[in-house]
Structure 1
Amino acid sequence: MSKPLQLTLGLLKPDIFANPVFLDLALARIRAQSHMRIRQATIVQWSPEQAADFYAEHHGKFFYQRLCDYMLSGPFQALVLEGPEVIRDWRALIGPTHPIRARIRQPHTLRAEFGLTDTRNSFHGSDSPANARHEIRKFFPDFIFPKDLE
């Protein structure tokens, strides 16, 4: 029996988006995954209000302003990814939040290869089906969610 379809939001953040060679390499790695596919993509340049809204859960934390400033530093790419376990698979592909830890523990992940710091870590992935739906709506307000979605 096949697993139900999942969707997740993937972000290719400003640092990797600004480097066409790294961006192409990362997108090639994503496309090479047989168990996930890019369903929709868009290029985004946030306003300060959009960054504050997306990262509202981190407001008041020591890294909040640094994170918002980073995401406002340039355009980035938002992806809707789909697959039977795409939330787990995407997070496994991007690796740990901290690129230094990723280089030690999971050196073949995207953050290990392309991430710079814990803030400038190049990628984002939703952590649950509910958050994926919520986050996809922020970037793709007209996205039609499939009926057979987990």
Structure 2
Amino acid sequence: MTDRILVLIKPDGVERRLVGEILRRIEAKGYNVTALKTVVPTPELLAEHYAEHVDRPFYPGLVEYMTRGPVVAALVEGHRVVQGVRSLMGATDPTTAAPGSIRGDLARDQGGEAMENLVHGSDGQASAEREIAIWFPELG
């Protein structure tokens, strides 16, 4: 059985023209990008995606960051893809992310309200399926 994960290349990744490099790293690991689209997220879409964070103090800054420009959403498939892609992404904080990881090599803390760390990846198979349904409803 093939596992699936949602990968979002956040506005800073799109702005810095790192979409190709990030997807290249995922494909070089042997995973398959099976759906891809550019989305300008709305606050409503983000409220659904980040439902568990809506009442947190950092949430308004996160919405401001994620709505400032387009996001590239990718559906990625492969054996143990959640663990593999999350390893490729590196630690959430780019300052401490290991060299060789996407965040460790390409991101840095900008000192803003939201952590600009280039990418999001689902943290488990259940969350992946929930997030894929939000970002790719046409795949229902």
Instruction: Give the structure-2-normalised TM-score.
Output: 0.91
The answer for the alignment partner of 2:74 in structure 1 is: 79
The residue that corresponds to 2:105 in the other structure is 113
> Which runs of no fewer than 5 residues in structure 2 stay unpaired?
none
Deviation at 1:114, TM superposition (A): 2.0
1:148 maps to which residue?
A: none
Counterpart position of 2:123? 127
CA contact (8 A) 2:35 2:76 kept: yes
Please give the secondary structure, in 2, of the residue aligned with 1:91: helix
Match of 1:33 among 29, 34, 42: 29
Q: 1:19 aligns with which of 16, 20, 33?
A: 16
Is the contact made by 1:116 and 1:122 (CA closer than 8 Å) also made in structure 2?
Answer: no
User: Could you tell me whether the CA contact under 8 Å between 2:94 and 2:108 is conserved in 1?
Assistant: yes
Match of 2:85 in 1: 90
Question: RMSD of the TM alignment (CA)?
Answer: 1.4
Q: Tell whether the 8 Å contact from 1:39 to 1:79 is kept in structure 2 after alignment.
A: yes
Aligned-pair CA distance for 1:127: 0.9
Gaps of 5+ in 1: 145-150
Q: 1:55-81 deviations in whole A, cap 9, x for unaligned? A: 121122221111111000100100000
Among residues 6, 9, 13, which one is paired with 2:6 in the alignment?
Answer: 9
Equivalent position amino acid for 1:136 in 2: I
| Alpha-carbon distance in structure 1 between the residues aligned to 2:33 and 2:62 | 25
Q: Which has the larger radius of gyration?
A: 1
Q: Partner of 1:147 in structure 2?
A: none
Structure 1 runs (4+) greater than 3 angstroms displaced: none
Query: How high is the sequence identity, in percent, across the aligned residues?
Result: 35
